[in-house]
C-alpha cells in the first residue's frame, strides 16, 4: 500500500488535497499536522476523512516543523485517537506517553536525517517493544548500500516494519520495501510537494513503479548512473513491463564511481537481475562482468549487465548495434544499404563516439573522427586506424554520413548545432544521437537540405529494446517504446514543468515473472 503524505499550512488545503488523493485512488494518507500554521483543529481534519489516515506531528529534529509545546503535541495526538483515526505515528520517546485506545493502530517510528546508523537492529528491537502495530525506521542513505540494510531489516522483522532510506540513494528501498515485507511506503502528493529527501510523487510510485503490484516474486532491474535522475530508461522499461504484463520493476540507481563495485556486490542480496549502465560506469561494467561479450570487451565499454541462468554476470553493448541500425535507417530511406565504403564523419570522441566509431569500422565504413579536444580525438583515431579531422576543419570534408556524438543542441541549449548549415549537402545521412529534443537544430537544418535524417530516439529505443531482450528473453515493440518516449519528452516543456511523465494506463493484475535468460540474443527488435 502507498501512504501519501500531505503537509500544508492551512486546514482547507489539507482537506482539499485529501479528497483529491482519494479520487486518485489513494488508500492511506498521512496528515502532517506539524505543517499547519494555526492551532490545529484535529476534529475538523478527521471528521469526513475520505481515506484511512495516519496522523503525525513531527518535531524539527525528526524532519518536522512542530513548534508548539510537548504537552500540546500529546493533547492533539490523544484527540486524534479519540476521534478514531486509523493510525498515529509516535516517536520512541512519545510512545510510552500515549496509550493505546480504541481501534487506532500505533506506528512507532525512528528517523535519522543524517545517516544509516550501525545499530539499526537494536533500534528496531527497542521500537518493537513499545506496543507497536507497525515499526517505522527511516534513515538517510549516504550510499546505495544503505538500502540493503533497511530492506533486510523489513524482511527479518517479526513486527510489520516499514523500512527504507531517504535521499536520492534511497529511492531503491522506497520502491522495493514492499517486496521485502514493508506494509506500506510513503509518497508525496505531487512533485512540487516533496516533504522528505528522495520522496517520489504518488502518481509516479503508483503508475510508473506500480508499487502495489510489487511482491516477493517481482523481478528487479535498474539503471546505474551518476547522475541518473534525468534518465528515461525507467520510463521505457517500466512501461514495457506493464504493457507485456510482466511482474517486474525497473529502478533508477544513483551510484558514484567509488561505490560501483561495492554496490553491485551488496545488491546481490536484493536479487537484481539486470542493469542498464550509463555515464560514468560503462567501462567499469566490463571489468565487473564475469563474462563480457566480445563487442563490449573490444570497445572497453558495456551498457548492459544481466544475470544468466547460471547466476553469472554478463556484459553487453547494445548502443553499438542500435546506432548502426539507426544509420542503416537513413541509408535505406535513400535506397542504399550497408556502410561499406561510405565516408562517415563522427563528431565527438567520448563514450558514444567510441562505440559507434568501432561499429562503423567493423562495417567497412571510411571513418573520420573530429573532436573539440585534439588529443582525445587523435587518440581514438589512432586506436582505430582512421583519419582525425581537427574541429575547425570538420566542415571541409566530403562525407556521406554525419553522426553527432556531442551534446551540442541538447536540451536546454537547443539553438546550437555542431555542424554549420552551409556545410550540409543534399542527400547526406545525418544521424544525431541526441534524443531530447527529437528535432535538434542539426536535424532541422539537415531536413531543409534534403538530407536523410535520423534522430537519437531511434538509437535510444533500440538499445533499450535489446536490453529488454537480455533482461526478459522477450521482444518488445519499438513503436510502443517510441511513442512512450515521444509522449514524455515532447514538447520539451513537459519535462521541465512536471518531470518525467509516467505512463497513465491502468495496470493489469495478471502478471508473469520474466525468466532468467540463457545468454540473451541482444538483437534489436
Ligand atoms: P561523453 O563521453 O561525455 O563525450 C562527449 C563528447 O562531446 C566529447 O567528445 C566532447 O569533446 C564533446 N563535446 C562536449 N561538449 C562540446 C562542445 N560544447 N563543443 C564541442 N564538443 C563538445 O558523452 P557520450 O556518452 O559520448 O554522449 C555524447 C552524446 O551522445 C550525448 O549527447 C548523448 O545524448 C548521446 N547519446 C545518445 C544515446 C542514444 O541512445 N541516443 C546513447 C548514448 C549517448 P571533448 O573531448 O573536447 O570534451
Specify the pLDDT at position 195.
Answer: 77
Dist. CA 163–CA 203, nearest whole Å: 21
The finding on whether 252 has its CB within 6 A of some atom of ligand 1 is no
DSSP letters for 429-472: EEEE---SSSS-HHHHHHHHTT-EEE-HHHHHHHHHHHHHHHHH
Residues 142-182 have pLDDT tens digits of 999 999 999 999 999 999 999 999 999 999 999 999 999 99
Distance of CA 251 from the midpoint of ligand 1 (Å): 24
Give yes or no: 282 in active site: yes
Specify the pLDDT at position 497.
Answer: 36
Return the C-alpha torsion angle 260, 251, 183, 11, nearest 10.
110
Q: Residues of the chain with pLDDT > 70: what percent?
A: 93
Q: Residue 421: CB partners within 8 Å, gap ≥ 6?
A: 445, 448, 449
Q: Is the pLDDT of residue 383 over 50?
A: yes
Atom 2 (ligand 1) nearest CA: 350
pLDDT band at 430 (very low <50, low <70, confident <90, very high): very high
Average pLDDT over residues 340-348: 97
Average pLDDT over residues 185-191: 92
Average pLDDT over residues 269-275: 96
The finding on whether 78 has its CB within 6 A of some atom of ligand 1 is no
Whether pTM > 0.85 for this model: the answer is yes
DSSP letters for 294-333: HHHHHHT--SEEEEBTTS-EEEE--HHHHHHHHHHHHHHH
Q: Is the pLDDT of residue 510 over 90?
A: no
The finding on whether 350 has its CB within 6 A of some atom of ligand 1 is yes
Return the C-alpha torsion angle 298, 419, 496, 506, nearest 10.
-60
Residue to substitute in 300, 301, 302, 348 for testing ligand 1 pocket (most ligand atoms within 8 angstroms of CB)? 348
The finding on whether 378 has its CB within 6 A of some atom of ligand 1 is no
Atom 46 (ligand 1) nearest CA: 373
Q: What is the DSSP letter of 204?
A: I
Of 282, 307, 469, 495, which one is the catalytic site residue?
282
Specify the pLDDT at position 62.
Answer: 85
Report the alpha-carbon angle 22-27-31, nearest 5: 75
The finding on whether 376 has its CB within 6 A of some atom of ligand 1 is yes
Specify the pLDDT at position 490.
Answer: 72
To which H or E segment does residue 185 belong? strand 185-188
Give percent helix, percent strand, percent coil of the chain, each to the nearest 5: 40, 20, 40
Atom 37 (ligand 1) nearest CA: 433
pLDDT band at 513 (very low <50, low <70, confident <90, very high): low
Give yes or no for a contact between 355 and 403, defined as CB atoms under 8 angstroms apart.
Answer: no
Q: Is the pLDDT of residue 515 over 80?
A: no
Average pLDDT over residues 15-24: 97
pLDDT band at 520 (very low <50, low <70, confident <90, very high): very low
Ligand 1 nearest atom to the CA of residue 377, by list position: 46
pLDDT band at 197 (very low <50, low <70, confident <90, very high): confident
The finding on whether 225 has its CB within 6 A of some atom of ligand 1 is no
Instruction: Name the average pLDDT for the chain.
Output: 92
Atom 33 (ligand 1) nearest CA: 434
Give yes or no: 449 in active site: no
Residues 123-141 have pLDDT tens digits of 999 999 999 999 999 999 9
Dist. CA 204–CA 182, nearest whole Å: 19
The finding on whether 390 has its CB within 6 A of some atom of ligand 1 is no
Distance of CA 343 from the midpoint of ligand 1 (Å): 21
The finding on whether 434 has its CB within 6 A of some atom of ligand 1 is yes
Specify the pLDDT at position 190.
Answer: 87
Give yes or no: 319 in active site: yes
Residues 442-497 have pLDDT tens digits of 999 999 999 999 999 999 999 999 999 999 999 999 999 999 999 998 754 444 33
Give yes or no for a contact between 138 and 160, defined as CB atoms under 8 angstroms apart.
Answer: no
Give yes or no: 207 in active site: no
Specify the pLDDT at position 491.
Answer: 52
Q: Residues of the chain with pLDDT > 90: what percent?
A: 89
Instruction: Give the three cell numbers for residue 242.
Output: 506493464
Report the alpha-carbon angle 379-381-384, nearest 5: 110
Q: Is the pLDDT of residue 40 over 80?
A: yes
Residues 203-239 have pLDDT tens digits of 999 999 999 999 999 999 999 999 998 899 999 999 9
Ligand 1 nearest atom to the CA of residue 347, by list position: 9
Residues 27-36 have pLDDT tens digits of 999 999 999 9
Neighbours of 48 (CB within 10 A): 9
The finding on whether 481 has its CB within 6 A of some atom of ligand 1 is no
Specify the pLDDT at position 232.
Answer: 94
Atom 36 (ligand 1) nearest CA: 433
Amino acid at each position: 500500500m502507498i501512504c501519501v503524505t500531505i503537509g500544508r499550512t492551512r486546514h482547507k488545503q489539507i482537506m482539499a488535497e485529501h479528497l483529491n488523493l482519494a479520487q486518485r485512488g489513494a488508500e492511506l494518507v498521512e496528515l502532517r499536522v506539524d505543517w499547519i500554521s494555526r492551532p490545529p483543529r484535529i476534529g475538523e481534519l478527521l471528521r469526513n476523512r475520505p481515506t484511512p489516515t495516519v496522523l503525525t506531528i513531527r518535531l524539527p529534529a525528526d524532519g518536522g516543523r512542530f513548534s508548539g509545546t510537548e504537552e500540546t503535541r500529546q493533547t492533539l495526538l490523544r484527540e486524534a485517537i479519540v476521534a478514531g483515526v486509523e493510525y498515529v505515528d509516535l516517536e520512541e520517546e512519545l510512545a510510552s506517553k500515549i496509550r493505546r485506545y480504541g481501534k487506532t493502530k500505533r506506528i512507532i517510528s525512528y528517523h535519522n536525517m543524517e545517516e544509516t546508523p550501525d545499530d539499526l537492529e537494536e533500534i528496531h528491537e527497542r521500537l518493537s517493544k513499545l506496543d507497536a502495530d507497525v515499526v517505522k525506521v527511516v534513515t538517510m542513505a549516504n550510499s546505495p548500500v544503505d538500502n540493503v540494510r533497511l530492506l533486510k531489516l523489513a524482511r527479518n522483522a517479526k513486527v510489520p516494519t516499514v523500512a527504507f532510506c531517504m535521499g536520492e540513494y534511497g529511492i531503491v528501498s522506497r520502491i522495493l520495501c514492499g517486496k521485502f515485507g514493508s506494509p506500506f511506503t510513503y509518497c508525496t502528493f505531487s512533485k512540487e510537494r516533496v516533504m522528505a529527501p528522495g520522496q517520489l510523487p504518488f502518481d509516479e510510485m503508483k503508475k510508473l513503479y506500480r508499487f502495489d503490484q510489487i511482491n516477493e516474486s517481482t523481478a528487479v532491474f535498474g539503471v546505474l548512473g551518476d547522475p541518473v535522475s534525468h534518465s528515461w530508461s525507467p520510463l521505457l522499461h517500466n512501461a514495457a513491463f506493464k504493457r507485456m504484463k510482466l511482474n517486474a520493476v525497473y529502478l533508477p540507481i544513483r551510484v558514484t564511481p567509488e561505490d560501483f563495485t561495492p554496490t553491485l556486490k551488496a545488491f546481490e542480496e536484493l536479487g537484481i537481475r539486470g542493469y542498464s549502465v550509463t555515464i560514468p560506469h560503462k567501462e567499469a561494467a566490463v571489468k565487473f562482468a564475469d563474462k563480457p561479450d566480445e563487442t563490449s570487451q573490444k570497445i572497453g565499454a558495456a551498457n548492459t549487465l544481466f544475470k544468466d541462468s547460471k547466476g553469472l554476470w554478463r556484459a553487453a553493448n547494445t548502443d553499438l548495434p542500435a546506432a548502426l541500425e539507426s544509420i542503416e535507417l537513413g541509408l535505406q530511406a535513400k535506397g542504399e544499404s550497408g556502410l561499406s565504403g561510405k565516408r562517415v564523419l563522427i563528431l565527438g570522441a567520448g563514450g558514444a563516439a567510441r562505440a559507434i566509431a568501432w561499429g562503423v569500422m567493423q562495417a567497412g565504413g571510411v571513418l573520420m573522427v573530429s573532436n573539440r579536444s585534439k588529443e582525445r580525438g587523435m587518440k581514438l583515431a589512432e586506436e582505430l586506424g582512421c583519419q582525425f579531422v581537427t574541429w575547425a576543419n570538420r566542415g571541409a570534408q566530403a562525407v556521406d554520413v554525419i553522426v553527432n556524438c556531442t551534446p551540442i543542441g541538447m536540451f536546454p541549449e537547443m539553438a546550437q548545432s555542431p555542424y554549420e548549415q552551409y556545410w550540409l549537402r543534399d542527400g547526406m545521412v545525418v544521424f544525431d544521437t541526441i534524443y531530447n529534443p527529437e528535432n535538434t537544430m542539426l536535424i532541422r537544418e539537415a531536413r531543409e537540405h534534403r538530407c536523410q535524417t535520423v534522430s537519437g530516439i531511434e538509437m535510444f529505443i533500440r538499445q533499450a529494446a535489446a536490453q529488454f531482450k537480455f533482461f526478459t528473453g522477450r521482444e518488445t515493440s519499438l513503436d510502443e517504446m517510441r511513442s512512450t518516449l515521444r509522449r514524455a519528452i515532447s514538447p520539451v516543456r513537459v519535462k521541465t514543468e512536471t518531470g518525467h511523465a509516467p505512463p497513465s494506463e491502468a495496470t493489469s493484475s495478471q502478471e508473469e515473472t520474466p525468466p532468467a535468460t540463457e545468454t540473451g540474443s541482444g538483437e534489436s527488435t
